[in-house]
A and B are shown apart, each in its own frame.
Chain A
Amino acid sequence: MRSRSHRTTWRWLLEKEMRELASSRAYWLLLVVVGALVGHAFITSVNLYAEASGIGGGPSALAQGLSPLEGIVVPTLGAYDIAATLLFPFVVIRLIALEKQTGELALTLQGPAPFGATIAAKAIALFFAWIIAGLAGAGAMIRWHELGGHLYAPEVFTVVLGHLLRGVLTIGVSAAAASLAASAASAAIIALTVTLGTWALDYVAAARGGVLSAIAEYTPSAALRVFEHGELRVATVLIMLTLGIGGLAIAAVWLDEGQRTGVRVARLAGVVVTVGVMCALFGRMRATRDVSEDRRNSFPRADELALRDIRQPLRVTVYLAAEDPRLTDLERGVLAKLRRTMRSVSVSYAANSRSGLFERPNDHYGEVWYDLGGKREMTRSTTEPIVLETIYRLAGRPAPAAADESPYPGYPLAAHVTLAPWVFFVFWPAIVLAAWWWARRTRVRRLQIVGE
C-alpha cells in the first residue's frame, strides 16, 4: 500500500515537472537551435570528410587518417557541448527558479513527498529533456550510416555517454545556481560565471601544470574530451556524476526554506565537503578502457603485455614547461598510455618556467628522466618507440616482438549531403514547432464564462 502511494506521488511529481518543461519556451527554443547546430556541424563535417577522401578527384589523405570518430561523430555531437554550455542552463534555471518566483515552493515544501524527491523529479525530467534534444544528433548519425559511413558502436556510445554526463553536470550546476540565487537572472550569471571559470582553469592549467592541471582534467570541456578521444575512464564518469548529483543536493538543501539558515549552511558545507572527498577519491581510480577502433589511447598489444609485466614503479621527471608543445606530445602519446598500462607510474614536472624559453643550461631543460628498479636514464625524445626502448632497457628486458596486429584501415567516404539541410533546417524545426503547438493547445483555450 505504502509503495503504491509512493509510486503515485512519484508519478504526479514527474508529470508536473514534464508539464512545466513542456510549458517552457526556453526548452522549445533549445530544441530548434540544437537541430540547427547539429545540422550545420554534420553538413560541414561530411563535406570536409568528403574533401579529405578525395571527392571530385582531388588529392586525398591517407585512408588510415580518416576516422569517422574525429571526422564526423565528435564534431557533429560537439553541438551538444555548445547547447550544454549556453542554452541548457537556462532551461534548468527556469524550472527551479519558477518554483521560487511564483511562490509554489511554499506549497511544494508542504507536499507529501520529501523535498529531495521534488528535486529528483526535476532532474529526471530535465535529463529526459536532454535525451529528447539528443534525437537530432541520433538523426545525424543515422543519416551518416545511410550515406555509407562507418560507425564503430563503442566509440559512438562513449561519446554519447560523455554528452549525457555533460548534461547531468549542467543540470547539477544550474540547479545549484538557481537555488542559491535570488532570481533567474542572477542564477544565469552564476551558471555562466562557473562556465567561464572552468575555461579560465583550463587555460591557466595548460600554462602552469601541476595540481591545477590535475583538477582541470575534470572541467566540463576536458572531461568531455576524454570521451571524444575514445577513452572510457571510470574516474571521469564518477566525478562528473558526483558533481552533477552534488549540485542537485545543494539545490535540495538550500531550497528547503523551512530550515534555519544556520542548518542549511551546515548541510551545504556537508554536501560540498562530501562531494570534494568523493571526487578526490574517485580521481585516484585508474580503471580505464580504450574503446577507440584505432586504439589511439593504447600501446601495441605486445608492448602492453610487456609493460604490465614490469612490477617495479616507474618514476618520470620531466624538465619541460607547461606551454612547451613537446610536453603535450609526451603527455598524450606516452605518459597517458603509460599510466593506463603500468602498475605504478608517477610523474613530476620539474621545469622552473612556464614557457621554457629562458631556462639556463644547468636547468636540464628538455630532459626527461626515467627511474626504474634503481636505474636511471635520460632521453630528450618524446616519441613512443624511443621512450619504450628506454623503459625496456631500464627493466633489463628486450623489447617484445611486434605482434601481428592488423592496422587501422581508415574509412574514407566521399559523400554528398543533399537531404540533411532539409532535415535539420526545415523538418526538425517544423516538428519541434508542431510539438510545441500540440503541447500548449490542450490547455490554452478558455471557456466563455456564462454571466461574467
Chain B
Amino acid sequence: MALPQPVPRAEAGAGAGPSAIIRVENLSKRFGSFWALRGASFSVRPGEILGLIGPNGSGKTTLFQCFAGVTPSTLGTVSIDDRAVEPHERKRHLYFVPDGIQPWPDQSVDWVLRFVAGLHGATAAAHVEVVELLGLGPLLRARLGELSKGEHRRVLLAVGLLTPQPLLMLDEPFDGLDLRQTRDVMEVLRHHAAKRRTLFLSIHQLGDAARICDRFVLLSGGYVAGEGTLAELRAKAGVSDGGLEEVFLALT
C-alpha cells in the first residue's frame, strides 16, 4: 500500500505566517488499507474561530482525534512556534470535545461541571458564567444520562469552555441544537473567542459554519481542499460572488 503523497497547502503561506500558533503538517491516518486522512496541512491562528468543513465521512473527526493526540496518526506533525509537539504533550495546548460521547451518565450536571472546573483549575466565576451563558441552571441536578441530545450537547460544550487550554476543539457543536439554541451557542462561542481563546469547530452544516467562523479548512475525502477566509477561498475557487456552499462545491 503506497503512502499518500502530502497534499500541497491549499493557501501556501496563508496560514503559516508569524501569527500562526499551531501548524499541522501532512497529518495522515490509515485504518487497514483505507486512508481516512491524507496529508492534511493547515494552521490555526490565535483568537480565531476556525471551521473544519466537510461532508459526513470526509475525515473531520479523525483529523480532530489525530490532531488532539487521542488517536495516533500514521504520519504528520503538529508544531507550535516551529517546535514539534508530541501527541502526549498536546493536551497542554489544546482540548478536544468529541462528538457522540456520553460520559458520566450517572452523575449530575452540577457535579460534572464542578469536577471539570476543579480538575482543570477553572475559577468559580468561570463556572458560574458558563452555567449562565449556556442556560444550564435548570439542569444542574439532572443526571447526564437523562438529558436530551441538545441539553447534553450544551453540557459538553460547558465542559470544553471550563478547560484552560488556549485552543478548544469542538466536534459538531451545533448538532442536536434547535435554531434558537444554535444562535445562543454561537454567541457564547464568540464571547469566548473574544477573550483570545482560539476555537476550532468541526461543522458539517455550511450555513452554521459561515455564520460563526473567521476562516475555514475544507476537507473532502480525507484531503484538505482549501484553507482561508471566505474571500480567500472564493479567489482560490474562482467564484466571484458565492457563499461557502458554492466555494466548497467548486473546490471539492
Contact = CB atoms under 8 A, between A and B. Distances in A.
A416 B102 CA distance: 53
Q: How large is the interface on B (under 10, 10 to 19, 20 to 34, 35 or more residues)?
A: 35 or more
B19 interface: no
A257 B103 contact: no
Contact of B138 (A8, A11, A447): A447
Interface string A150-176: 000000000000000000000000000
Contacts of B120: 111-112
B140 interface: yes
Given A12-B119, A102-B103, A109-B91, A449 B139 contact: yes
B71 A257 contact: yes
Contacts of A337: none
Chain B contact surface mostly: mixed
Contact of B106 (A23, A111, A113): A23
Nearest to A8: B118
Contacts of A261: 72
B142 A104 contact: no
Interface string A103-137: 11011011111000000000000000000000000
Interface string B98-110: 1011111111101
Given A19-B107, A259-B87, A106 B70 contact: yes
Given A110-B96, A112-B119, A447-B141, A257 B107 contact: no
Contact of A260 (B72, B97, B102, B115): B72
B121 interface: yes
Interface in B103-147: 103-108, 110-111, 115, 118-121, 138-143, 146
A258 B69 contact: yes
Contacts, number: 99
Nearest to B117: A12
B70 to A, nearest CB: 5
A111 B119 contact: yes
A446 B139 CA distance: 7
Nearest to A111: B119
Given A19-B111, A110-B68, A444-B143, A102 B121 contact: no
B195 interface: no
Nearest to B72: A260
A5 interface: yes
A209 to B, nearest CB: 47
A259 B72 contact: yes
Contact of A443 (B88, B98, B103, B111): B111
A309 interface: no
Contact of A12 (B95, B115, B142): B115
A110 B91 CA distance: 5
B104 A450 contact: no
B250 interface: no
A258 B72 contact: yes
B70 A109 contact: yes
B101 A447 contact: no
A380 interface: no
Nearest to A103: B101
B231 interface: no
B70 A443 contact: no
Q: Top 5 A-B pairs ranked by shortest CB distance?
A: A103-B101, A23-B106, A104-B103, A443-B108, A446-B142
Interface of A: 5, 8-9, 11-13, 15-16, 19-20, 23, 102-104, 106-107, 109-113, 257-261, 263, 442-450, 452
